Amino acid sequence: MRVRTQARRDAIVAEAAKLFEESGYEGASMSELSKRLGGSKATLYRYFPSKESLLVAVVQAVATSHLTEAVNGFTQDTRGVFDLKEALQRFGEKMLAVMNNDRRATAIYRVVIAESGRTPVGQLFYQSGPSECIAAISRVLGEAMDRGELRQADPRVAALQFTSLLTAETEMRIYQQEPPAITHAQIGEMVVRAVEQFLFGASPR
């Protein structure tokens, strides 16, 4: 029963992602989604009590799950050594790979941007992944400050600055109709530049 329930939930989220992509947040309705799924709205509401909760599930599945994977990369290697530069590089590569080469993730980002000024969608998006990501980076940078690897500063501000550097070379792609794919090598080079710039500014004087 639990497997069937999870499979049904996953099917709802997948179809909802398509509907949000096609119609935007305001244009997508639970009625239309239930038609596409071949069920009733009552069944749909048993899984998701509101359209907002459904959007959060879509965002987590399509647009922010890669952030959790990237954060999980902040671990020690097999020798028990933590290399901050290497960890930031791994995180950046995972983050940019999905943000820039996953068409559906890009589409959901655009839905969020389009609706943010009119609805609470932007805040829901931030709470469903990016806020946790910033908190995790803040912890890593705070620990590096305690070890003397970085100069003392507000770890959260440093985390925000780091992620801004990561997206500096690709941010305009969200506004392009059909941005070309970026190779893994190009992503690696962008992240190297971002990490080096961050560490140059954040290193102890």
Angle between helices 51-58 and 2-27 (to 10 degrees): 100
Q: Give me the mean pLDDT over the 167-178 stretch.
A: 87
**């949000």: which residue's tokens?**
20
Q: Tokens at residue 201, please?
A: 């500014």
pLDDT at 2: 61
Q: Give me the mean pLDDT over the 120-126 stretch.
A: 81
Contact 116, 184 (CB under 8 A): no
pLDDT in tens, 188-205: 999 999 999 999 999 998
pLDDT of 21 over the 80 cut: yes
Please tell me which residue, 60 or 41, carries the higher pLDDT value: 41
